[in-house]
Each structure stands twice: as C-alpha cells, then as structure tokens.
A and B are shown apart, each in its own frame.
Chain A
Amino acid sequence: MIEAFQLTKSFGPRVALSEIDLSIEDGDFVTLMGPNGAGKTTLLRILATLSRPSSGRVRIAGMDPAREGERIRRCIGFLSHGTMLYDELTAEQNLRFYARLYDVPGASSRVDDLLQRVGLSERRRDKVSTLSRGLKQRLAVARAVLHGPRILLLDEPYTGLDPQAVDALTDLLVDVAGRGCLILLATHRINRGLALGRRVLVLDQGRLIYDRPRETITLRAFTEFYRGVTS
C-alpha cells in the first residue's frame, strides 16, 4: 500500500510536486500519466525512497521512509530511466550482485529463472555493454523484480523496447500483477496507459488533476482531455 499526504517537492523556486494526496491499495495496477516535466519521475523517486519530499508525508506499506528505509526498500522494485546495470559485468553477474544485496534466497536458481523469462539465457555470459538497448531494458526489468517486490514502480518502462520485448514485458507485468503486486506505471503515452491500468492518474505541472477507475473512462473522452493537458 502506498499513501501520500500533501506531498510537495520543490527544487529551489521550481515546484515539481504540489500537495499530492494519493492512496493506492495492495494489488492495484495504476498508470500515472502526464506530459514530460509533469513530475512523474519525481513522484516515483520519492516513493522509491531515492528522494525526500520537501513537505508532506509518505507511507509505504504503512512505514515511514525516513525511519524504516531498509525495510521499505526490501518490498520495492524500481525501474527508472537508468538501467542500474554495470556495463563491465555480464548479465548474470549483474543479477547475482543485486541478489546478494537483497538477500534473495536460492539466488542462482532465481537468476536462472529470470534470465530465461526475459529471454537472455543464451547471452547470460555476455557483458552488458555488448547488449542492445532492448536487451538491456529486459535485463533491467529482471533486476527490478529480482527480489519479488510487493510494490513495483516503473518509469516509462517501454521506451527503447522492440515489439517482441514489449509483449514480453506486458506478459511479465500481467503475471506480477496477478500475484497481488502493487504496480505504479508512469508513461506519457495514452494507449499504453489505458491498456494496462485498472486506475488512471494524470499529473500536470506537479498537480494530480485526474484520478479515475479505468472502466469509467472512454478512449475518446480521455484522448480529448489528455490533449488539453499536453498542448
């Protein structure tokens, strides 16, 4: 469960997030939409404990990030713009390293299993620097779900993916969501946002201006609304 109360983040005079109130239940699949610079990345980084709010409160699984950071980090998986992968290490070494940091039990079979699921079994001994953008992104996804997080935060996970990898990622997300994992996926593209989420949020200039269940939204009306925001 994710909760935010009056969450505000400013960088000097620029306000990136303004008084966000938000509550997401366990197991929900929510898409977070908004144009570039709307504050999506800032919000995800705060929820991932990578950044601290200027004011307001955040609770992750009922815990305060400032006090119980380590326990919260155990249940969070975060996929950001950076792949968080070491170019100098092989695909397998990267996952094994992170598995050690997260104390993943049965690490080697877990790593094998994940490499297979993202289609990298054959290239497991290749250095990450030799992988294509799409393959790197697949590995980054594997890294994010490695420790079986209960909360998965994804920042534009589809950028740079080939169509085949898009399908693989969607399958993986549906599977993870099916196991009761809370997913918050940020994207600026309408079709992705509406295709996956059960609830849709829209951020604009740091404010949460839209919050509705997916089934009450029609593509047409939403497209019109979203155009108004992005123009």
Chain B
Amino acid sequence: MSFLRKLLAVINKDIAAEMHTREIISAMLVFSLLQLLIFSFALDLHAAIAETVAPGVLWATIVFAGTLGLNRSLAREQRNSCIDGLLLAPMSRSAIFFGKVAGNFLFMVLVEAALVPLFSALFGVALFRLSVLLVLGLGTLGYASVGTLMAAIAVNTRAREVMLPVLLFPLALPVLIGAVQATGGLVSGGSLVDVAAWVRVLVVYDLVITAVSLVTFGYVLEG
C-alpha cells in the first residue's frame, strides 16, 4: 500500500534524523528532569503527598516537555523548505500528517519510558502497570495529534517558541484533565474500570481531534 509505505518513509526519516542529532529527545529529556527537580522543591514532594500530586506532576512534565519536541520536529520541516519537498511528492497530505504525528508520538513515548521508572523510584508510586501505560499512550496520542497541527502553525509565526504553548495548552485541556484523573485513579489503587469515564474522555478526544486535525492539516500547509 502506497499510503502506508510513504507514511513509514516519513517516520523513518524522522528517526534517522534523530539518530544523527538526538536533539529532540535530549532536549525533552533534560527539560523533563529539570522540571522534576523544580516540582520536587516547589511542592516539597515527599512520600506522604506523592500519591496525590504525582499524576499532576507527571503530566505537567510531559505537556511542557512535549512542546519542545513538537516545535523542533516541525521546525525541521520548515528549515530549507523541506515541507515543500513533502508537498511536491506524490503522496496524500494525510500520509504527511500521520507520519509526523507518529514520529512525535514515538519521541514522546521514549521520553516517558525514561520518566516513568524514575518517577516510580523517586516518589514511590507504582506507575509500571499496563493500565497506567495505556493511559499514558492514549493521552500522549491525543496531545501529539493536536500538537503536531499547532506546531505546523506555530513554526510559521513570529516568536514560534512562545506561540506553540499559547495555542496548544488551552486546546489540550481535556487531555490533561482526563489523563491526570485516570492516572490518579490508577495510582491510588483503582482498576481500569474505576477510571473508565476518564479513559473514555481520552478516547473520544483522540478520535475527534485526530479527525479534525487530519481534515485541516492540508490547509495549514499549502498557500
């Protein structure tokens, strides 16, 4: 299938670029660690309150660090007019969109893979569970989706580093609420059934936002 082959080509290209520079992952990772440090002192994070605060801290870290990666990823396409190269190729706009979303999702998941064990160790909360990982995946997917669209807009504006969070955060609110609540419910001993309402919020958000982003992405790219 041509669609899938080209989508994979875009993902491979992003992975290859990242292997050469490691700038996206390292930027997100270092920034996440710094945030952890700041939150630890700001909230005086110790075991007694860790369980209530940890989900919020985790997701705030992911959301903030995510903007760095999203910005870099789309800035790469902007530099040297690479995005024109993609638009000139005989491929659908949706293959470009899904390719970029998948790449951004992958990079964020890799950073989370480092963050989760660290979190568990530092604050003594059990995050290494399939249900928590599912929530992480769902939340990250929706965030990467809308984030890719917003970053594609932001890299074309003045002051792009400021513009991305300003555009993205208010739109990502349902993800943040849903993910924090679901993670919180699971961390305090609940099962997936107990947080089903929040998981549903994440699933609905992912579906709706991906559909809308997909339809509008083409309009962002071509002038």
Contact = CB atoms under 8 A, between A and B. Distances in A.
Interface stretch (A95-103, A161-169, A185-193, A223-231): A95-103
A71 B90 contact: yes
Nearest to A11: B223
A101 B16 contact: no
B20 interface: yes
Interface string A72-97: 01101010111111111110010001
A127 interface: yes
A96 B91 CA distance: 16
Interface stretch (B29-37, B74-82, B106-114, B207-215): B74-82
A49 interface: yes
A207 interface: no
A50 B88 contact: yes
A89 B82 CA distance: 12
Interface string A22-46: 0000000000000000000000000
Interface in B170-223: 222-223
Interface residues of A, number: 31
A69 B16 CA distance: 28
Contacts of B6: 100-101
Contact of B82 (A81, A82, A100): A82
Chain B residues touching A, majority SS: helix
A109 B21 CA distance: 27
Given A82-B82, A83-B81, A102 B90 contact: yes
Interface residues of B, number: 28
A88 B91 contact: no
A97 B87 contact: no
Contacts of A74: 90
A88 B17 contact: yes
Interface in B81-134: 81-82, 84-92
A123 interface: no
Nearest to A78: B88
Of B2, B16, B76, the most chain A CB neighbours within 10 A belong to B16
B13 interface: yes
A52 B222 CA distance: 8
B5 interface: yes
A81 B82 CA distance: 11
B167 interface: no
Contact of A73 (B5, B12, B89): B89
A84 B81 contact: yes
A55 interface: no
Closest 7 CB pairs of A and B: A82-B81, A84-B85, A88-B17, A101-B89, A100-B9, A73-B90, A70-B90
Interface of B: 2, 5-6, 9, 12-13, 16-18, 20-21, 23, 76, 79-82, 84-92, 222-223
23 contacts: A48-B88, A49-B87, A49-B88, A50-B88, A50-B223, A51-B223, A70-B90, A70-B91, A73-B89, A73-B90, A82-B84, A83-B81, A84-B88, A85-B80, A86-B76, A86-B80, A87-B79, A87-B80, A88-B18, A88-B21, A89-B16, A97-B13, A101-B90
